[in-house]
Amino acid sequence: MAYTLQLTVKKIEHETDTIKKFTFTSDEIPLPPFGAGAHVTLHLPMGKRQYSLVNNPLEMKNEYVIAVKKISDHNGGSGYLHECIGQGDNISVSPPDNFFPLRTEAKHHVFFAAGIGITPFVSMMAYLKTIGRSFELHYAASGERECAFHRHIQNHFRSKSTFYFMKREEKIAKLKKALQNRTMGTHIYLCGPPAFMDILLEHSHKLRYPEKFIHEEQFQPAVLIENPQPFFVNLVKTKKTFMVSSGQTLLDALHEIDIYVPYTCRMGVCGTCEVEIEEGDVVHCDSFLTEEEKVGNMLTCVSRGIGHIKLRL
Amino acid sequence: MGYYGIFKITGRLDVREVIQVSRLNGFPFPFTKDQYTYSNNSVPLDPAKTITVTADYKNELELKRKLLQKHHHRCFRSLPLSMESQWEIMLLLFNELASCNPESFTFQKKGDECLFQNHLLEEEEAFVFRDVSTIALEPLDLVGRHVQEDLILMGDRHNGLFLEAGQLCFPSNWSLAFVQGMEFKSIHNPVPGIQNDGFIDKVERFISKIRPGTVWERKNWSITVTNMLDTPLETYSVWGKHRQEVTCENAGDLIHLRVEVQRLFRLPMNHDVLFTIHTYLLQLNDLIQQESWFKSFYQNIKTLPEEIAEYKGISTYRTELIRFLENHMEKERRGQ
């Protein structure tokens, strides 16, 4: 979504020594609704940063709440939010999007979180509790003091939560065990540092856990080419050669020389303008093709060649 | 006879012409090319509106409610899993009705207490969000009685998109009862050529990637003989036989271009997909008044592949239809 919301920082709370909770609101506009697992994109001086929403989507009172762990100085996004943003400040925010939705068909939801990876699950658990569905949480942190939302979770989801504050080896062994002997229809959700995710993913593969029942938090920022470069194109069937200039899309260049490639969205979403690649390197900017399809195909509305490419047209 | 846009240049404007002009005006003419093409012809819609209120609102809602009353089991189906999304759809549509047509509808929500007022029908719905004891019908069934669109809920599951609830009064030769609970690809199996080059897989992938809060629109067309909106598979014996009655003399009266404006919307809260279908009918006699539409329609009927003509139910009378159109063309040519 192209538009942004101008929001005000209503409240800043200390969650732990290094984690702050920010509440954004607006007096003027109703904030768009969101689903459990959704994130917002903040537009900060150093670029766009995405953070999971921690509020309950069913009890949203025109507020977005995020929790941010400080992992940089004020030149980085988290440090900037911690050091330079105060109550009453304004901030540009892209409306919520969701690449980590709950699979509501699940008979049972199991959440594995490490550190600040807890954030999407705070929203998910609140939602599931409201609609009366079954879930449990396994949450690893270095200690109670560093454990974000510890008290909140104890207050609201105590019987469904297990905390892992022990030494690393013991933690890993116990988490692996929690993955085992799950009943059919259980969906697993993972969020945390890459090492944590890798260990649990690998173990789930070892257990032959069906892949479609395992979900990872994945931010998928749209690929945007900052400085598009001109490139040359050879059409092998119609035997034409032409250049796509830096300000032009391949789709437009094709139309200019009367090669009609159908199109619809011009955003790399619908897949209509797909063409086959004969040879050459391509920067893929679409969110449609699978990794396998990208080997021999490209969407001409957003993706570009590097140097010289050949297309089967 | 000259035309500028859709306005006919004559000395005076009689009633018949006024009606015709308004019908043509709001009609979503579907053809953009002079040849039939097979593609994912969806376009993003900004602002993201899922429904449209037209001049036929009262008539169509009367018919819709009659059908729901008489054939509820045929026109409304739902699975228990659909309940949360049904609630979300009800809020969404009441909100949209009120914000886009404030003179006709009002919607207020204080906490979970909701009040929707339909000033066109002089009705109101008071309910508590997510409290089933406060509504007499399921949410989708209730809100569907205030919009002209048919409403279909596709559940976005880990293994595909499934039809999990629907209020369907004006289908074009399909059955809600038959497809309830079915997966997207299976539902579309009857469409000829839909499996070629993985086309249906790509459409499904496209839908599964629609972002929250965005609406995509496509137009789908077919032909109805007579002006019936409700042509479900279940009553084929009633309306299907009219296909045999078309002649090159009566085609202008009998044949109606049927256009479904279909919109896809990702429900932000529950991540399922709402599919709305607004059906428009335009009599062929009206359609041919607009020269560019007539030409485009003729070319598309002429170039329609046989299996698509068969699927759309046109094969029976295609020859008569084409003759009617060519006769009209001839008359226009002589008139000039």
Mean pLDDT of B55-84: 97
pLDDT in tens, B218-253: 999 999 999 999 999 999 999 999 999 999 999 999
Q: Name the residue among B84, B155, B202 with its Cβ closest to that of A271.
A: B202
pLDDT in tens, B191-222: 888 888 778 888 898 898 888 888 999 999 99
Find the domain containing B67 and state its range: 3-335
Contact B212 A98 (CB under 8 A): yes
In angstroms, the separation between the Cα of residue B16 and the nearest Cα of chain A is 38
Q: Which residues of B are catalytic?
A: 218
Residue A18 has pLDDT above 60, yes or no: yes
Contact A97 B271 (CB under 8 A): no
Determine the pLDDT at residue B20.
54
Contact A264 B81 (CB under 8 A): no
Q: Name the residue among A131, A213, A288 with its Cβ closest to that of B158.
A: A213
Determine the pLDDT at residue A223.
57
Q: Name the residue among B37, B41, B213 with its Cβ closest to that of A95.
A: B213
Determine the pLDDT at residue A245.
94
ipTM, 2 decimals? 0.86
Determine the pLDDT at residue B189.
85
CB contacts of B158 in chain A (<8 Å) are 103, 105, 187, 212-213
Residue of B nearest to A274 (CA): B202
In angstroms, the separation between the Cα of residue A143 and the nearest Cα of chain B is 33
Mean pLDDT of A40-44: 92
Output the CA–CA distances (angstroms, integers) from residue B21 to A174, B66, B255, B285, in the order listed: 73, 29, 19, 13
Q: Is cis: bond before B47, omega within 30 of 0? A: yes
| The CATH number, out of the four listed (1.10.3720.10, 3.40.30.110, 3.40.50.1360, 2.40.30.10), of the domain defined by the range A5-97 | 2.40.30.10
Mean pLDDT of A186-196: 93
**Sequence ranges of the domains in chain A:** 5-97, 108-216, 231-311
CB of A307 closer than 8 Å to CB of A280: yes
Q: Which CATH architecture has domain A108-216?
A: 3-Layer(aba) Sandwich (3.40)
Three-state secondary structure readout of B89-136: HHHHHHHHHHHHCCCCEEEEEECCEEEEEECCCCEEEEEECCCHHHCC
The model's confidence at residue A2, banded by pLDDT at 50, 70 and 90, is: low
In angstroms, the separation between the Cα of residue A95 and the nearest Cα of chain B is 9
Question: How far apart (Å, rounded) are the C-alpha atoms in residues B90 and B330?
Answer: 51
CB contacts of A34 in chain B (<8 Å) are 212, 268-269
Best of B87, B204, B270 to substitute, by most chain A Cβ atoms within 10 angstroms, is B270
Q: In chain B, how many domains are there?
A: 1
Residue A206 has pLDDT above 90, yes or no: yes
Residue of A nearest to B85 (CA): A104
In angstroms, the separation between the Cα of residue B42 and the nearest Cα of chain A is 7
Number of C-alpha atoms within 13 angstroms, CB side, residue B86? 25
Question: How far apart (Å, rounded) are the C-alpha atoms in residues A162 and A113?
Answer: 10
Residue A168 has pLDDT above 80, yes or no: yes
Hey, is the C-beta of B209 within 8 angstroms of any chain A C-beta? yes
Determine the pLDDT at residue B196.
81
Joined together, the tokens standing for residue B283 give 């009599």
Q: Which residue has the tokens 């925010």?
A: A93
Residue B3 has pLDDT above 90, yes or no: no
CB contacts of B44 in chain A (<8 Å) are 265, 267
Determine the pLDDT at residue B53.
97
Residue A70 has pLDDT above 70, yes or no: yes
* Packed helices A194-206 and A168-179: angle between N→C axes, nearest 10 degrees: 40
The mean of the pLDDT values for chain A is 92
pLDDT-above-90 percentage for chain A = 81
Residue B6 has pLDDT above 80, yes or no: no
pLDDT in tens, B291-322: 999 999 999 999 999 999 998 899 999 999 99
The model's confidence at residue B336, banded by pLDDT at 50, 70 and 90, is: low
Q: Which CATH architecture has domain A231-311?
A: Roll (3.10)
In sequence order, which residues have a C-beta less than 8 Å from that of residue B59 and are 6 or more positions away? Answer: none
In sequence order, which residues have a C-beta less than 8 Å from that of residue B284 and are 6 or more positions away? Answer: B251, B252, B253, B254, B255, B256, B257, B324
pLDDT in tens, A123-141: 999 999 999 999 999 999 9
Hey, is the C-beta of B205 within 8 angstroms of any chain A C-beta? yes
CB contacts of A57 in chain B (<8 Å) are 269
The mean of the pLDDT values for chain B is 90
pLDDT in tens, A302-313: 999 999 999 999
Mean pLDDT of B265-292: 96
Hey, is the C-beta of B66 within 8 angstroms of any chain A C-beta? no
